[in-house]
Amino acid sequence: MLVKWMRCTVVDRVGFERGQRKWAGLLGEPGFRAQGGGWSRTRPGVAHLFGFWESRTFYDSFMARSHDRLAAGQTGTYQDMRVRLFQYRFDVKVGFEPHFADANLLRVAHCRVHKERSEHFTLMQEKVWNPAMAGSPGMLRGVFAEAEPDNEFLVLSMWDAAAERAKYRTERVERLALRAQTDADVAAISGDVIDMEPSWTV
């Protein structure tokens, strides 16, 4: 499964949201699974979107045929668009499906990992971080994905309550990071907390 992460700064919110509704046209595309996103809680005007495709082949076909027609509705409404593609590696909680309807909060972490530490980083995600997140109240599901050969990783998690995620974060993250030796693995990390916009879900 291919995971597409899009982030941009919106300069015309009304126009952007109007154009966002046109992405419902994705539903007829071969290999398309789902798309959803919302507004950054920490950066005013920043929008995040996450798309899921069966494979890179289906995605490339869509980009060559239909993308520009759907995207035309948002021309001029945003700037600084950044797009990254990642390949699914494993679930953060068992049984991941790219559904957004029951989530009201997304958490994204983007990690650039030292090349010689990528295997250890992946193992620690599986053995340390995943069980902790999966056992947290309010955590619905998540996905761990990798962009090769750049040693970049994406961790996307879906939550049903902001308060529960905050509790998980303050109580456990520092202890887990020490156990997983995160500082030794990661060259750079960035992330965001996103309030879901239900009308953007396809």
Q: What is the bridge-based pairing of β-strands 78-91 and 105-113?
A: unpaired
Q: Which residues of the chain have pLDDT under 50?
A: none
Please tell me the predicted confidence (pLDDT) of residue 95.
85
Q: Give 3-state DSSP helix, strand, coil % of the chain, rounded to 5.
A: 40, 40, 20
Determine contact, residues 39/9, Cβ cutoff 8 Å.
no
Q: Which domains does the chain have, with CATH numbers?
A: 2-200 (3.30.70.100)
> What's residue 3's pLDDT?
98
Residue range 50-102, pLDDT digits in tens:
999 999 999 999 999 999 999 999 999 999 999 999 999 999 988 899 999 99
For residues 7 and 44, is the Cβ–Cβ distance under 8 A? no
pLDDT score for 196: 96
Can you give the pLDDT at residue 171?
64
pLDDT at 168: 67
| CB-based contact 20:199 (threshold 8 Å) | yes
- pLDDT of the residue at 108: 97
Count how many residues are written for the chain: 202
pTM: 0.92
Q: What is the pLDDT of residue 172?
A: 73
